[in-house]
Structure 1
Amino acid sequence: MSDIDTISAIVATPRACDEGMLDVGITPDCDGVWLNALWVQRVRPDGTYAEPEQLTDNECITPADITAEAQREFATMRITAPPAIVQGGEPMLVNVHYPAYTTAEPQELEAVLLGVPVVIRADPAEFTWDFDDPHGAGGGTLTTTDPGHPWRDGDPLPDATWVGHTYSRLGDPDTDAGVHRDAEGDVYRTDIAVTLTTTWQGRFRLQGTSTWTDIDGAITTTSTTDPATVTEARTRLVCEDLHGNSFC
């Protein structure tokens, strides 16, 4: 039996309520949140208040009603750029794969749109690394949905399957800016800065509900590492090992 049928049966029952009156409020289904009616009480010229006036009715607000406003709010959302981290001590060496990673986490913003409290969420979706390697194969860029992870003691050695980069060529000291040759003939390149561009996708939910609605479009943040130096590692014959023992 529906609510209307139940109420009709009660009203039709003799002496069901005092003086034959029954005041019942029924809240229709709402796939969102209810926005209460807006009332105003105006001040008369003599300083007294007029009778309250109802400006709007109770209204069911659904995600579809908020989507356009949520898109505008997301487009101007201030997102803290996650760090760009390349693991390895300076100077870095050619032909070594250095892990790169970030610690991007979802970020949320609470806002009131059209009088309705909402939560807007930005999720990291894609990571584009520019390893500042114009002399290497592929131009030194990598785009992935994997934020990467650092190497830890006991892990297998990083290889090409890890998020990261291998500097294979440094350029020509005679023609390429930032490339130098030291007194021993070793080539090195200075001021290498790695840039991470993080792409964020948006979604929102009405507060008090658990359903998230996707937001069209995306926004990006940019992070850059401190400048570093990459150098060659040459093999040389020496007479002593790392502990000072002589073999010559």
Structure 2
Amino acid sequence: MSIARSVALLTALAVSTAPPPPTPPLSPSTTSGYSGYVDDENNSAHVRAHGAAQNPATSGQDDGPRDRYFRTDLTTCNLAATWDGVDLATTLDTCPDEALELTIQGAPCTDEEYELADLWVERVRDDGTYTDPEHLSGRECITPTDLAPHARHEFATMHIPTPEATLQAREPLLAGVHYPAYATTQPQIVDVTLLDVPVQIRADPVEYTWNFDDPHTPGGATLTTTDPGQPWTDGAPTPDHTWIGHTYTHLGHPDTHPGTHRDEAGNWYRQGVTTTLTTTWQGHFRITGTSTWTTIDGTITTTSTTDPVTLTEARARLVCDDTHGHTTC
């Protein structure tokens, strides 16, 4: 057996691209020991387990034992302890005191990648016992491309707090007045683990669609913008059409529109008027600790609705009494 051939075998194991199975990763228990050897003729590595390992994700469940997966580095030992004689063995522990540990390094992962150790499995037998650990795949450099479909699924099911939507006005609203609208939003970031890789998922608000519940103002029912709007503050200019907001110009006629009513004084009004905001979010992800964010295909939306208010008209009337009760006509 040659060192070069054995190193080539172990390097081939290290670059295996077999996909990880959909089972939680497992770390060997402190009571387990492993030993093994390289079958140079058949290009395989054999490892034997001593003791037991626990899978916290399935322990105590009633659906029976499952295959146990874990990741750990593969250690290669020269049991001959000399370069003149070679007796290679692989182990999941450190080499025996009398053996030489060989360091076999693959190409280093880049700053935007994440390194995963070798993947192993102990398969459950019909009688509930487990086989010796089987080497499934070697060390891997995980890239954002590998994680993209998993990040897309995670983003699609991400919980985003519903933004607060505000139509800045005092009730009742008056037709002919421009009321500012604004949303309180900010990017949302969650930390997840995908394929054993720590990942950050970020959702950014990118578009706002306002529905002002106004069927009577031509072209005025909805407004879509990339600007979340801003509140009016004391001392600021009077809000006009350049502000994100809305002006109700018509209420509809009480005799022809069921939602419009007439009070005893003849004033027209609508009740239960709400403003609905649909916020569109774009997703991005990155491997935790790296600097580059990758865009996730597709978007998700959230919906916010303001409390219902009453809308009425401010009508001008000719009166004969002034504010002091004096008759002027």
TM over 0.5: yes
Contact 1:107/1:123, CA 8 A, preserved across alignment:
yes
Contact 1:99/1:162, CA 8 A, preserved across alignment:
yes
Counting only pairs closer than 5 Å after superposition, residues 142-153 of structure 1 correspond to structure 2 as 142-153=223-234
Structure (1/2) with the larger helix percentage: 1
TM-score, normalised on structure 1?
0.82
Structure 1 residues 155 and 78: alpha-carbon distance in aligned structure 2, compared to 1, 3 A threshold: same
Pair 1:28-2:108 in alignment: yes
Pair 1:207-2:288 in alignment: yes
Pair 1:135-2:216 in alignment: yes
Out of 105, 116, 120, the residue aligned to residue 186 of structure 2 is: 105
Deviation at 1:105, TM superposition (A): 1.2
TM-score, normalised on structure 2?
0.63
Counting only pairs closer than 5 Å after superposition, residues 2-151 of structure 1 correspond to structure 2 as 24=103, 26=105, 27-30=107-110, 31-40=112-121, 53-151=134-232
Determine the C-alpha separation between the residues in 2 that align with 1:193 and 1:29. 54
Partner SS state of residue 207, structure 2:
strand
Deviation at 1:78, TM superposition (A): 1.6
Deviation at 1:109, TM superposition (A): 2.0
Pair 1:162-2:221 in alignment: no
Deviation at 1:140, TM superposition (A): 1.3
Counting only pairs closer than 5 Å after superposition, residues 166-205 of structure 1 correspond to structure 2 as 166-205=247-286
Larger CA Rg, structure 1 vs 2 = 2
Match of 1:5 in 2: none
Deviation at 1:187, TM superposition (A): 0.9
Structure 1 residues 185 and 49: alpha-carbon distance in aligned structure 2, compared to 1, 3 A threshold: closer
Deviation at 1:237, TM superposition (A): 4.1
Partner SS state of residue 150, structure 2:
helix
| Structure 2: gaps spanning 5 or more residues | 1-81, 84-99
Contact 1:128/1:196, CA 8 A, preserved across alignment:
yes
Letter in 2 for 1:112: T
Deviations, residues 124-170 of structure 1 (Å, cap 9, x unaligned):
01000000100002041100000001100011000000000000000
Deviation at 1:193, TM superposition (A): 1.1
Structure 1 residues 247 and 146: alpha-carbon distance in aligned structure 2, compared to 1, 3 A threshold: farther
Identity %: 58
- Stretch moving more, 33-42 or 213-222: 33-42
Match of 1:15 in 2: none
Q: Which has the higher contact order (CA 8 A, sep 6+)?
A: 1
Contact 1:178/1:191, CA 8 A, preserved across alignment:
no
Pair 1:233-2:314 in alignment: yes
Deviations, residues 203-235 of structure 1 (Å, cap 9, x unaligned):
111112121000011111111111111111012
Deviation at 1:68, TM superposition (A): 0.8
Q: Number of residue pairs matched?
A: 229
Root-mean-square deviation over aligned CA pairs: 2.7
